[in-house]
Amino acid sequence: MERLQQKIIEEGKVLSNEVLKVDAFLNHQIDPVLMKEMGQEFARLFAEDGITKILTIESSGIAPSVMAGLEMGVPVVFARKRQSLTLTEGLLTADVYSFTKQQSNRIAVSNAFLNKEDRVLIIDDFLANGQAALGLLNIAEQAGVHVAGIGIVIEKSFQEGRKLLEEKNVRVESLARVQSLENGQVTFVEEARA
Amino acid sequence: MERLQQKIIEEGKVLSNEVLKVDAFLNHQIDPVLMKEMGQEFARLFAEDGITKILTIESSGIAPSVMAGLEMGVPVVFARKRQSLTLTEGLLTADVYSFTKQQSNRIAVSNAFLNKEDRVLIIDDFLANGQAALGLLNIAEQAGVHVAGIGIVIEKSFQEGRKLLEEKNVRVESLARVQSLENGQVTFVEEARA
């Protein structure tokens, strides 16, 4: 998605060979127009898949997911990272290891909002080592839903997330695929136009 | 906002005289169409205020805020409750006490995204004791922005949040004002039509 690539070039900050900071439009400040365009793009990519629900994770997955949900006419469910006082029964959980924080966090979704008949699109803001997406996939499997695919805003293609997900035979669509952050420069994976 | 009141009646769950659970459309599962309508309503309520930025707090404030931001053509900034590895410099922080969890949490916003010239609309999902909104107000004051008002999705009018905010001379607009949750019943504050 060209507008997203532009935005990454213009407003992203390369903090290291591994870390791209996009706090200016995705992870802290949010550009609602860009979110809408991303929602439309996810809807286009998964138009033939009969999606009935979007599953994401708080917090930065919520904005693109809600826009995709609006476009596709389906509800969004976000997995929680923190314990909720009112969300205690019928929880589907998965443990997600963060390599950067070097700790494991439990994420949770109420089984009330995932039904066996659902055809689910999983959306997240970043795909790096794939641990968050694998956790969401795990929860979807527990719920017995069909996962139509995973939509990612920014993929760091030099990390192993995509490979791990594809080994699970899941379709992965990323709106921007970062090839490298070396020398403080963002380069993207060259792709044939869809 | 009538559609929101209906949704609360139909899908909300009264857990006690103080706790209303709206996980079915706002806090866990999200109804994107309702979010859009709420965004439009916030835009209508603050149409004359020259808003340049929306300030909210993760996670449940994000969806209505992004829709309001889209409608008003302004960016959204969400305060973080968790520490971020890439968000470390130039932080404006406030401590927010949670009566339900009986603990204080630090929330943080980067000063890069709030400028003295900004006219800010603060949005949150719930107004109960007002502590989260006061924390956001505190951060806005530190940034030196003008706060045009506070937009709330669901106000529990039997708690003191509105009073505390109005004592700060801030305009508060709530899309639904819950008068009482007694006897397992939701009743709303009667209001003249806007």
B64: DSSP letter: H
Q: How confident is the model at residue A6 (pLDDT cuts 50, 70, 90)?
A: very high
Q: How confident is the model at residue A89 (pLDDT cuts 50, 70, 90)?
A: confident
Strand pairing of A119-127 and A146-156? parallel
- Residue B87 pLDDT > 80, yes or no? no
Nearest CB to B29 within list A28, A32, A77: A77
Helix (H) or strand (E) holding B38: helix B32-45
Overall average pLDDT of the B2-27 stretch: 97
ipTM of the complex model: 0.96
| pLDDT, tens digit, 9 for 90 and up, residues B38-57 | 999 999 999 999 999 999 99
d(CA B150, CA B23): 22
Contact between B23 and A80 using a beta-carbon 8 Å cutoff? no
d(CA B50, CA B69): 13
Interface of chain B toward chain A, CB-CB under 8 angstroms: 15, 19, 21, 23-25, 27-33, 35-36, 58-59, 62-63, 65-67, 69-70, 73-78, 80-82, 84-87, 100-101, 109-110, 112-113
Closest CA to A91 of A99, A100, A83, A103: A83
d(CA B2, CA A182): 53
| pLDDT, tens digit, 9 for 90 and up, residues A155-165 | 999 999 999 99
SS3 state at B182: helix
Contact between A30 and B77 using a beta-carbon 8 Å cutoff? yes
Confirm whether residue B27 is marked as ligand binding: yes
Cβ neighbours of A89 in B, within 8 Å: none
- Residue B99 pLDDT > 90, yes or no? no
| Residue-wise DSSP of A100-145 | TTTEEEEEEEEGGG--TT-EEEEEEEEESSSHHHHHHHHHHHHHT-
> How much of chain B, in percent, has pLDDT values that exceed 90?
90
The pLDDT of residue A33 is 98
Q: At A62, list the tokens.
A: 């919520």
- Residue A128 pLDDT > 90, yes or no? yes
- Residue A18 pLDDT > 60, yes or no? yes
- Residue A192 pLDDT > 80, yes or no? no
d(CA A74, CA B174): 26
CB B97 within 8 A of CB B138: no
- Residue B193 pLDDT > 60, yes or no? no
Please state the φ and ψ torsions of residue B11, each to the nearest 5 degrees.
Answer: -120, -10
Domains of chain A are 2-188 (3.40.50.2020)
Closest CA to B176 of B11, B18, B38: B38
Overall average pLDDT of the A30-35 stretch: 98
Q: How confident is the model at residue A86 (pLDDT cuts 50, 70, 90)?
A: low
Closest CA to A65 of A109, A125, A117: A125
| pLDDT, tens digit, 9 for 90 and up, residues A64-85 | 999 999 999 999 999 999 777 6
Rounded to a whole number, what is the distance in angstroms from the first to the last CA of chain B? Answer: 10
Q: Hunting for tokens 């205690």 — which residue is that?
A: A88
Q: Hunting for tokens 């706002």 — which residue is that?
A: B26
- Residue A149 pLDDT > 90, yes or no? yes
d(CA B137, CA B49): 17
Strand pairing of A119-127 and A103-110? unpaired
Contact between B80 and A28 using a beta-carbon 8 Å cutoff? yes
- Residue A194 pLDDT > 90, yes or no? no
